[in-house]
Structure 1
C-alpha cells in the first residue's frame, strides 16, 4: 500500500456505501452529525506473523454511528446499517472479527474490528 492504510480503506469503502453516509478517516469528535458516520480509527501495527520482513498487520476499529438522538430510531436504523457495512467489508475480502454495539459519545454506534495487511513496495 503506497497511501496511508486509513485512506486506502476509505477509498475502498466509498463506492460500496450509501452516498449520504460520511466516511471520516480520522479519529475526531463530531458534535451533531446529520447523517450516518463511518469513522476509521487505526489502533495498532504488528509485524505479520510468518511473513517476509516489511509486511505489517494494521488494526482498525471502524465505528458506524447513528445521527438519531432517539435510541429506538437509532437502534432500528443501525440494525440495517451495520449489516450494510459488514457486507461491504466482506465484499472487499477484508477480515473483520467483531461488530459490537457501543456508545459513540451520546450516540448509538457499532465498533467493528478489522485488520489490513500493508507491504513495503
Structure 2
C-alpha cells in the first residue's frame, strides 16, 4: 500500500475522536453532492523525504472543515471555536501545524488546516 494511503487512514482515524460527533469525515478530496453536516475532508498535497528523520517521509495534508450553513456569519460562528480546538488538539498530538486559513468550498465557508505528518514504513 502506498505510504500516503496508510498515512491518510491513520490521520482520519486520529481525527475522529477529536471532532464533534455530528461531524462527518471524508478521507479523500471530492465534490460533495450536498453539505448537510459539518464535513472534514482530507487532501494530501505533497510527499517528500523527511529532513528530520532518515528513512521517513513527510506528507502534507490540508484538512478542510466545511460548514453546512449558507450564511457566512452563522458559518463563522459555527466553525471558529471548534476549528481552534481542533488545531490545538492536533498540536498537542505532535502534528506539525503549518497554518489555518478561512476559505470557501463549494460555496460554503470552510477552514483549511495545513499540517505535516511524518511517516515511516512499518517494519
Length-normalised TM-score, structure 1:
0.91
Q: What is the deviation of 1:114? A: 0.4
Which ranges of structure 2 fall in alignment gaps of 5 or more residues?
Answer: none
Structure 1 runs of 4+ off > 2 angstroms?
none
Which ranges of structure 1 fall in alignment gaps of 5 or more residues?
Answer: none
> Conserved in 2, the CA contact under 8 Å of 1:17 and 1:88?
no
Count the aligned residue pairs: 120
**What is the rounded CA distance, in whole Å, between the counterparts of 1:102 and 1:68 in structure 2?**
14
Specify the alignment match of 1:41 in structure 2.
Answer: 43
When structure 1 is superposed on structure 2, of 81-90 and 92-101 the one drifting more is: 81-90
Q: Could you say what the CA RMSD is over the residues aligned between the two structures, in angstroms?
A: 1.7
**What is the rounded CA distance, in whole Å, between the counterparts of 2:91 and 2:25 in structure 1?**
18
* Pairing 1:25–2:13 present: no
Q: What is the deviation of 1:50? A: 4.8
* Pairing 1:91–2:66 present: no
Q: Deviations over 1:4-46 (max 9, x none)?
A: 1111001011112111011111001112221111111111100
After superposition, residues 33-112 of structure 1 pair within 5 angstroms as 33-52=35-54, 54-112=55-113
**What is the rounded CA distance, in whole Å, between the counterparts of 1:32 and 1:8 in structure 2?**
26
Q: What is the deviation of 1:70? A: 1.0
Length-normalised TM-score, structure 2:
0.90
**What is the rounded CA distance, in whole Å, between the counterparts of 1:112 and 1:48 in structure 2?**
20
**What is the rounded CA distance, in whole Å, between the counterparts of 2:59 and 2:72 in structure 1?**
32
